[in-house]
Structure 1
Amino acid sequence: MPQLQSAFGLLVLLGLAFAISEDRGAVRPRTVALALALTVGLALLLLKVPGVTAAFSGIAAGVDAVAAATRAGTGFVFGYLGGGPLPFDPKTPGADFVLAFQALPIVLVVSALTTLLFHWGVLQPVVRGFSLMLERTLGIGGAVGLSTAANIFVGMVEAPLFIRPYLAGLTRGELFMVMTGGMAGIAGTVFVLYATLLRDVVPNVAGHLAVASILGAPAAILVSHLMVPDPAGGTTAAPTTAPAKIADSTMDAIVRGTTVGLELLLNICAMIIVLVALVHLANAILGLLPDVMGAPVTLQRGLGLLMAPVCWLLGLPWDQAVTAGGLMGIKTVLNELIAYVELSKLPADALDPRARLILTYAMCGFANFGSLGIMIGGLAAMAPERRDEIVSLGLKSIVSGTLSTCVIGATVGTMV
């Protein structure tokens, strides 16, 4: 059964994290067992309990509302390029969709909304609630719990701002948990974007992305503890003061959120252009090599073969593992946005619905080399005295973040 395959893969992934641990003797079985139980328990609750699943299905309505509101703005500014009425009949179905003018501007709206919710004090109690759950169930320090919980809603640089005064005093294991939490999730600013891209590929994808963001917290703690445990079991206390104000008024919050969103939007556009161009260039160079097994050598094929065993461990059939491995490789080497775009373009028969769902979870994280630079720069600026240690843990955080999202994918694979 594919569910048993996923369960076997889950154990292998955890065994791999333990095998590459800095100090296997310091790993606390109780913490591992509780973190695994919390990950599996939350997955069962969010995916199998009818009332809860119905609530998460309702997230799709919210995503549709934000997308429609964004199209109203882009259509007004960019006309038919932004989703407004077409002045002609398109010759090719889907040719009227322009990524830069219709999907990506969602980042602007979500950034402004997120800043507003923080300014109004709506999200802080939610973050603190998740933090308390992690502290009391897993016995981790309050500072780490707060940062990891914040990663459910904000990005890898914004979340540590909640505990900025405590970063310098974190133990090595706690610092690694903070870094892994950033790599094992996505920011709220891109959540709606990914849901919009995949809405026709994965049913109720918005709800599944929300579940993936929540499961990323205990999964990150589980994997990071296996890889970099604290011999002394450090537990840095939670901050007792509220985070600094992010805006002076509602209008100021809108302006600040829009400004931050604009920077992110421009970065995403530039990143897509450059990375897609580099992939095309790499494939052109690899195309000079003779065909292998009757097909040209491409970056996607190479990455697919490399990551295929991992995808099989997630519970995918072997005949689909190479295709899925290519997407996982693109996610790791480039980023998850391009991987999701490629997933949305795959023919219907390339991956079955179960494989697409598992991949959606397994790729829902920032664990890639580009994000590593962002994380090191942000954390080093907040805790300059820990810069060398942050850099030394950088590559490990990519591995731990990837293993965390794969653990989530395998966990979901045991239930679908």
Structure 2
Amino acid sequence: MSALQLQSAAGLLLLPALAWALGGFRRGVAPRVIATALALQLGLAAALLNIPPLRAAFALIGDGVNALATATKAGTALVFGYLGGAPLPFEEPFPGASFILFFQALPLVLVVGALSAVLYHWGVLPAIVRGMARLLRALLGLGGATGFGVAANVFVGMVEAPLMIRAWLARLTRSELFVVMTAGLATISGNTLVVYALVIAPVVPDAAGQLLTASLVSAPAAILAALLMIPPAPGEAATEGEEGIPTGLYDSSMDALVRGTQDGLGLLLGIMASLIVFVAIVALVNLALEPLTGLTLQKVMGWALWPVAWAMGVPAAEAATVGASLGVKMVVNEFVSYLDLARSGGAGLSDRSRLILTYALCGFTNLGSVGIMVGGMTAMCPERRHDIVRLGLPALVSGTIACCMTGAVVGVLTPP
């Protein structure tokens, strides 16, 4: 094992220790759960990255993403013309000059949202999530409702997953509620996974498979980080109930298709609005900060997160670049960080550091997502509003630690 891999291994121990320290060094998590969660992260990543049949599945996932992108382009070209990808009526001055994010990449959210609703109606997604929930319950001792919420977050967003366990939200313990919220921020939904994979495909091989692996590995990481920060109270029983998965959400496949498209439209507009507002706010802060100090918000966050980047196994010379990207993710969102990574081609980063960063960015750990999650969950369960609001920012911290643990895991398994 190389020195950088040992650095990642040390970071994989230091990051949970940080979560424990931020929680006040409280006891309540069995050593077996800690060891199992770490082993599960390493085992999942090792299997998905190194077993040939699973690696081959990455190529299939990538082909699927390309097929969805091609199909979506047919629709956007019809509706938006050359803005949506139809043949240009003029010569492109340089490759990529005609690419318009909103018209060519983001509409993929509509198609994936519609297909996800149909797969849910057919019982495919509930079956997969049930299996994952039972696995998490057996390995990490989670209650059924919490395990189901965590498992659902691997495939759907941080609001949709709690919606699936809405009937149990009021009964979840404070620790369980925190686990669900952390998992919501530490993973990404299938809709955004496809879009992000399309964006970073030029600089990250097997992008879709890598992002799916990251989201899967981040699930046990989120559980561990959350439990170390806010462990169960002594003698507190876990909340059961994963069998009550909502069924009959849609009347038919056509109803699922239509309503899934409508839900996707809301997500599409939300992404667009968040990008405009948060990029504008960061630019506004920089306009005020840079003339006075010569610094930008990205530089400040890069310095603050330098130790975290180092703990993931990034060389010291590259840690500031990785830390700055993590800072952009927290202040704006991960989409902008992935766009920056794609536009720069990973300049200044080795292939290994670029892969670690790809995994660490794979999560909704940003201020805007915290607002969306808190707003959605308080609407679902107003009687827990106080707990949900108070746990919002701590969940951002624990979710960030979980994503960085995933980055450290891939650092352990990837030689320089």
Q: TM-score range by the shorter chain?
A: over 0.9
Runs of 4+ in 1 over 3 A off after TM superposition: none
Which residue of 361, 366, 370 corresponds with 2:364? 366
State the Cα deviation string for residues 266-291 of structure 1 (Å, max 9, x = none): 12112212222222222222231254
Aligned pair partner of 1:326 in 318, 324, 327: 324
Contact in 1 for aligned 2:301/2:327 (Cα 8 Å): yes
Cα deviation for residue 241 of structure 1 reads 2.8
Separation of aligned partners in 1, 2:293 and 2:239: 57
* 8 Å Cα contact 2:61-2:208 kept in structure 1: yes
1:265 counterpart (259, 264, 268):
268
Aligned-partner residue type, residue 322 of structure 2: A
Alignment of 1:264-343 (within 5 A): 264-289=267-292, 291=294, 297-343=295-341
Asked whether the 8 Å contact 2:197–2:211 carries over to 1, the reply is yes
Residue type of the alignment partner of 1:242: I
Closer, same or farther: CA 82–49 of 1 in aligned 2, 3 Å: same
Q: Paired residue for 1:240?
A: 243
TM-score (norm 1): 0.96
Provide, for residues 84-127 of structure 1, a one-character-per-residue CA deviation record: whole Å limited to 9, x for no partner. Answer: 11122111221011111101111111111111110111111001
Residue number among 18, 36, 47 corresponding to 1:45 in the alignment: 47
Q: Output aligned runs, 1:119-138, within 5 Å.
A: 119-138=121-140
Match of 1:294 in 2: none
How many positions carry a matched residue from both structures?
A: 411
Contact 1:194–1:337, Cα closer than 8 Å, also in 2: yes
| Higher mean C-alpha displacement, 237-246 vs 308-317 | 237-246
SS in 2 for 1:169: coil
CA distance in 1, matches of 2:286, 2:190: 33
Q: Confirm or deny: 8 A CA contact 1:148 1:181 kept in the other structure.
A: yes
Alignment of 1:118-197 (within 5 A): 118-197=120-199
Give the superposition deviation at 1:348.
4.5
Tell me the distance in 2 between the aligned counterparts of 1:332 and 1:168: 29
Q: Structure 2 matches for 1:58-69, cutoff 5 A?
A: 58-69=60-71
State the AA in 2 paired with 1:268. I
Task: Note if contact 2:12-2:408 (Cα within 8 Å) is conserved in structure 1.
Answer: yes
How many angstroms apart in 1 are the aligned matches of 2:275 and 2:138?
41
- Name the CA distance, whole Å, in 2 between partners of 1:174 and 1:413: 29
Unaligned runs of 5+ in 1: 292-296
What is the rounded CA distance, in whole Å, between the counterparts of 2:346 and 2:184 in structure 1? Answer: 32
Greater Cα offset, 374-383 or 101-110: 374-383
Task: Give the counterpart letter for 2:309 in structure 1.
Answer: C
Checking the alignment, whether the CA contact within 8 Å between 1:38 and 1:218 is kept in structure 2 is yes
SS at match of 1:238: coil
Q: Using a 3 Å threshold, how does the CA distance of structure 1 residues 290 and 38 change in structure 2: closer, same or farther?
A: closer
- CA apart distance, 1:373: 1.3
Maintained 8 Å contact 2:275/2:332: no
Contact (CA 8 Å) 1:23, 1:229: kept in 2 or not? Answer: no
Q: CA deviation at 1:233?
A: 4.7
More displaced stretch, 280-289 vs 260-269 = 280-289
Q: Is the 8 A contact 1:174 1:234 kept in 2?
A: no
The question of whether the paired residues in 2 share the 8 Å contact of 1:23 and 1:228 is answered with: no
Aligned to 1:407: 405
**CA separation in 2, counterparts of 1:23 and 1:407?**
19
What amino acid is the match of 2:49? L
Q: Secondary structure of 1:26's match? A: coil
Determine whether 1:205 maps to 2:203: no
Unpaired runs of 5+ residues, structure 2, are none
Root-mean-square deviation (Å)? 1.4
TM-score (norm 2): 0.96
Instruction: Name which of 340, 346, 349 aligns with 1:351.
Output: 349
Write the deviation string for residues 134-187 of structure 1: whole angstroms up to 9, x where unpaired.
111111111111110001100111111222111111111111111111111011
CA distance in 2 between counterparts of 1:123 and 1:81 reads 34
Give how far 1:314 is off.
0.8
